[in-house]
Amino acid sequence: MQAFYADNFVLPLPPGHRFPMAKYRLLRDRLMNELPTVRLAQAPAATDGELALVHIPAYVDAVSHGTLPPAAQREIGFPWSPGMAERARRSAGATVAATRAAMGSPGRAGEGLAANLAGGTHHAYADKGGGFCVFNDAAVAARLMQAEWMRLHRHARKPLRVAIIDLDVHQGNGTASIFRNDDSVFTLSLHGQKNFPFRKEASDLDVDLPDGCGDAAYLQALEHALDELDRRFEPGLVLFLAGADPYEGDRLGRLALSFDGLEARDRHVFDWAWQRRIPLAFSMAGGYGVNIDETVQVQVNTYRVALEYWKRWNP
């Protein structure tokens, strides 16, 4: 299974910054040592043209050159540096590359499943970032795959339909805003009702969860949400944000899912896509464990489940 990383592009953070940047390299190390059938590759950088399918050019330019207003930079939550700008491009490029690997391209069959070791930057809007999100990788990948699909299917009457299944504990407000009133992309978000962002956008399907929600209630809500997605939409591609932050030991999550509950969550999503033979690309999204090793363990467990389904696609 192909997976793309960008942790070698350093985003320098000041001492005491609360974002756990080390988790990305820790995840890559674990995958290299424990899951050698995950084929790791450095992520390409998303181009200006690719980013402009979603983001306004003035915003892309300001991020690239460090000319965002101070308030806009603070809303992102990272200080600007060339490394920040490059890593944001690579994070978006990783989801693009994973989506191409899952779907295939002219002369190359799709593998059904592929991954981004980072990504899930769902708080980024078309014209601004926020909540540690600079460019919206899922939105960029969705728009680019739609454009490439239309070039291959010139006589198609409808665009490629994309479902974004966002299971980060925080609502995907940027994604919901970008695809508002777009019936070719279905946005589904399960998230903490009282968690960030406190002013939420309307997804196609929002499921608000109470603080302390545990495995059984969460999995029931997810099952109902996937049934609703199935009734309302027929995608040709799934983008899955497999956030680790619903975990009970997460500093910012406020939910109470166990390792087993999160593994069952992942299995639900991978199985839903497999049963319908829909290619799926996934990203890791949030994870802010009190113990960073527990966040990484949640993510490694996601890859173990994904490999089972990748082998079904590629016997």
pLDDT tens, residue by residue, 295-311: 999 999 999 999 999 99
Q: Which of 38, 61, 222 is nearest to 117 (CA)?
A: 38
The pLDDT assigned to 13 comes to 85
Q: Which of 273, 292, 297, 290 is nearest to 102 (CA)?
A: 273
From CA 135, how far away is CA 124, in angstroms rounded? 6
**CA pseudo-torsion sign 230, 232, 234, 239:** negative
Is residue 5 scored above 90 in pLDDT?
yes
Question: Token pair for residue 203?
Answer: 């997804």
The pLDDT assigned to 300 comes to 98
Is residue 16 scored above 90 in pLDDT?
no
CA 151 to chain centroid: 25
Q: Which of 233, 234, 310, 232 is nearest to 266 (CA)?
A: 310
The pLDDT assigned to 106 comes to 75
* Beta-sheet strands, E only, within the chain: 2-5, 39-42, 104-105, 108-109, 113-116, 162-166, 185-192, 205-209, 237-241, 280-283
The pLDDT assigned to 276 comes to 97
- pLDDT interval class at 162 (50, 70, 90): very high
The pLDDT assigned to 91 comes to 97
Question: Token pair for residue 305?
Answer: 């489940």
CA 128 to chain centroid: 18
- pLDDT interval class at 154 (50, 70, 90): confident
158 CB-side CA count, 13 A: 10
Question: Token pair for residue 167?
Answer: 């299971």
| 123 catalytically annotated | yes
Interacting residues of 278 by C-beta distance below 8 A, sequence separation 6+ = 163, 235, 236, 237, 238
Across 246-269, average pLDDT:
97
From CA 121, how far away is CA 123, in angstroms rounded? 6
Is residue 18 scored above 90 in pLDDT?
no
Q: Which of 240, 232, 251 is nearest to 278 (CA)?
A: 240
Is residue 259 scored above 80 in pLDDT?
yes
Q: Would you list the DSSP string of 199-256?
A: S----SEEEEE-TT--HHHHHHHHHHHHHHHHHH---SEEEEE--STTBTTBTTT---
Across 93-122, average pLDDT:
94
From CA 146, how far away is CA 107, in angstroms rounded? 18
Q: What percent of the chain has pLDDT over 90?
A: 92
Burial 167-193 (b: 16+ CB within 10 A, else e): bbbbbbbbbbbbbeeeebbbbbbbbbe
Angle at 25 between CA 19 and CA 27, to 5 degrees: 95
Q: Say which of 123, 170, 191, 268 is annotated catalytic.
A: 123
